[in-house]
Amino acid sequence: MGYIKFDKTQLINLEYSLNKELIRSNRAGSFSSTTIIGCNTRKYHGLLICPQPQLDGENHVLLSKIDETVIQREAEFNIGINKYTGAFSPKGHKYIRDFSSDIIPKITFRVGGVILTKEMMMVKHQERVMIKYTLVEAQSPTKLRIKPFLAFRNIHILSKQNIDLNTKYEAVPNGIMVKMYEGYSPLFIQLSKKGGEYVHVPDWYKNIEYIQEQNRGYDFQEDLYVPGFFEIDIKKGESIIFSAATKEIKPLSLAKEYEKEVEARIPRNNFHNCLVNSAEQFISKNNGSIDIIAGFPWYGRVGRFTFISLPGLTLSIDKQKDFVEVIDSMIKEMRGPLFSETGKNQFTTYNSVDTSLWFIWALQQYEKHGGKKAEIWTKYGKVIKSILDGYSGNHIPGIAIDENGMIYTSKEMSGYTWMNCQTEGICVTPRYGYVVELNALWYNAICFAIELAKTANESEFVQKWSETTKKISSAFKNVFWVNSQNCLADFVADGTQNTDIRPNQVIAASVHFSPIDDATKQKVIDVCYKQLLTPRGLRTLSPKDPKFRGICKGNAIERSCSMHQGTVWPWLLEHFTQGYFNLYKESALQLIEPLYNGFEETINERGIGTMSEIHEGDPPHNACGAISFAPSVAALLRVNDMIESFKRKSKRKATSNKKDK
């Protein structure tokens, strides 16, 4: 039995199978996403979703889905499935025998004496999805009918029947080219086998429903365009490949291309390999730049999450080259001391107070993984200096350095930390003034910069910033320490400490250069352990707080009000783990290793083979948010890194002790 596998009993249970989602992406920035039975439940689902930079710089659904029909002796068996008002039609899921995904997603259908498999593959460096149909068993001549459902729309906006539709098509080898609207990339739909027939019968399939959008309080009905259908004979033992792409391909090369892609895949045959595969899916190379997609299916690039997740997604799996390329791509889009937070080019925003400090933290992890300090300073010293000078020189509106050396942000910047959810333009968890993780990162960044500058004998720089670190280290605990709760305040504004027990203080215990001593770190870790730690990461607020919300469901406002008010974020576990190992060394393995291993239970929970963005604060901590989230995957790869590192240290100690005896 495969590592990722579902049987017929699970698959025909729609309440179960419609909550299991697939995501496959490629280096070209395209992705496919649907449920394990092929019924789309989100507006973000589709078989070919790719960027349209000429339109708005966002992802667009070109090919939404395919419905297939098996034809034998003039009897038709439709193996597709769609949700309409009050009913599913057709009900092809009843023919599914099993689903597996150890290498690529594969569905096996059984229709009477017919056994047909369907495998889906995203081509690594092209905007192309390939679907391979193999007739494993058949007792009589068999035809396959393939009906493509097209959308040609932004992933956030549903399609409705309209008069702007272009119903024309062009014949291409073994297929057609269609372009629903002006300005879009063309879509080439081709088959690997000659002799098929394309029948052009353009029509709208109206009011297809997306259950997850309905649950989330959004518009959930869509009209999809079907230009026609392909019909082709398929013999027992034969495979036919369906290709949908923004560029034409020679049909004879499809089979070879498909096999080449399969051979390059890392099998998802254990937990670690699932994480490695997931990590690679967030990395997009397009138009000369390499980016980290923050999460699927709705996120694009997010600067803060790029740097938070970059070490785990690259360094933890020995992809130093990708690390450097992402860093260099991000630097190109800097504006002064600030990195892009969301969007690209003319759509870029810079609304973050901490992204630039996470950049320096990421470089610090690169140095720990073998990067040379002198080389890092030579290449990135100017950027690091511009960041430190930008924060300290009043070059960023709303950010100032106080006399104590710490960063103080204005009330207008209250939604610019990572806890930035808003409802009707108002931040749910406003945080300003002295923000705890911001100042921990600031202190760490300065100390790391000093270390780097020493390699170039830049004594003036070292002396100047050493004075600042002295100020911060003497002021930090006085500003943030809450005696009544034995932990750090979340932020201090207008002379008042915010005493909500939140996980942001754990950053002060995890960074290499910390403004607090070990005794204080121990108290911080202790309160996080007792009040925030769950099997899925750290809660964003203590359950003892009356503002705590343990469930993250409902419409956009309800979910926004929960995201940082008790919801669990797995990415924070990395920093709890680092802080815990900082204090307890090898003995920390007793707690951390079972925590890490416990995440394997979630591999088939929601996003198959990957890690969700968040989990509910209340047990059983159901997964929610984005079905695949870069910081979550990266955090677990980093936690595994730490576990393996301390295991090696423990083994060396044991060996050394034996020799001494």
Separation CA 214–CA 554 (nearest Å): 10
pLDDT by residue (tens digit) across 173-210? 999 999 999 999 999 999 999 999 999 999 999 999 99
pLDDT at 289: 84
DSSP track, 336-365: TTB---B--GGG-B---SSHHHHHHHHHHH
Q: Which of 203-207, 321-325, 377-381, 655-659 has the lowest mean pLDDT?
A: 655-659
On whether the CB atoms of residues 48 and 122 are closer than 8 A, the answer is no
Kindly indicate the confidence band of residue 539, based on its pLDDT and cuts at 50, 70 and 90.
very high
pLDDT at 261: 94
At 319, the amino acid letter reads K
* pLDDT > 70? residue 1: no
pLDDT at 10: 98
* pLDDT > 70? residue 659: no
Separation CA 159–CA 280 (nearest Å): 31
pLDDT by residue (tens digit) across 106-125? 999 999 999 999 999 999 99
Q: Which of 61-70, 283-292, 540-549, 628-637 has the lowest mean pLDDT?
A: 283-292
Q: Which helix (H) or strand (E) holds 528?
A: helix 518-531
* pLDDT > 80? residue 660: no
**Which DSSP state fits 266?**
P
* pLDDT > 60? residue 326: yes
pLDDT at 348: 81
- pTM (2 decimals)? 0.95
* pLDDT > 80? residue 460: yes
CATH architecture of the domain with residue range 271-656: Alpha/alpha barrel (1.50)
Q: Which of 2-6, 227-231, 330-334 is modeled with the greatest confidence?
A: 227-231
pLDDT at 2: 80
Q: Parallel, antiparallel, or unpaired: how do β-strands 142-154 and 59-72 relate? A: antiparallel
* pLDDT > 70? residue 661: no
pLDDT at 651: 81
Mean pLDDT of the residues in the chain: 95
Match 């999460």 to its residue by tokens.
Answer: 295
Separation CA 586–CA 93 (nearest Å): 50
DSSP track, 165-194: ----EEEETTEEEE-SSTTSPPEEEEESST
Say which residues have a Cβ less than 8 Å from residue 458's Cβ, sequence separation at least 6: none
Coil/strand/helix, residue 537: strand
pLDDT by residue (tens digit) across 327-353? 999 999 999 999 999 877 667 888 899
| Domain chopping of the chain, boundaries | 5-263, 271-656
pLDDT by residue (tens digit) across 404-427? 999 999 999 888 999 998 887 888
pLDDT by residue (tens digit) across 275-316? 999 999 999 987 778 999 999 999 999 999 999 999 999 999
CATH value of 5-263 in 3.40.50, 1.10.1740, 2.70.98, 1.10.287:
2.70.98
Mapped to the 3 state alphabet, what secondary structure does 222-254 carry? Answer: EEEEEEEEEEEEECCCCEEEEEEECCCCCHHHH
Among residues 59, 41, 60, 56, the alpha carbon closest in space to that of 180 is found at 60
* pLDDT > 80? residue 375: yes
Q: How many residues does the chain have?
A: 661
pLDDT by residue (tens digit) across 381-406? 999 999 999 999 878 889 999 999 99
**First-to-last C-alpha distance (Å) of the chain:** 47
On whether the CB atoms of residues 249 and 172 are closer than 8 A, the answer is no
pLDDT at 509: 98
pLDDT at 57: 82
Mean pLDDT along residues 161-167: 97
pLDDT at 157: 97
Percent of all residues in the chain with a pLDDT value above 90, rounded to a whole number:
89
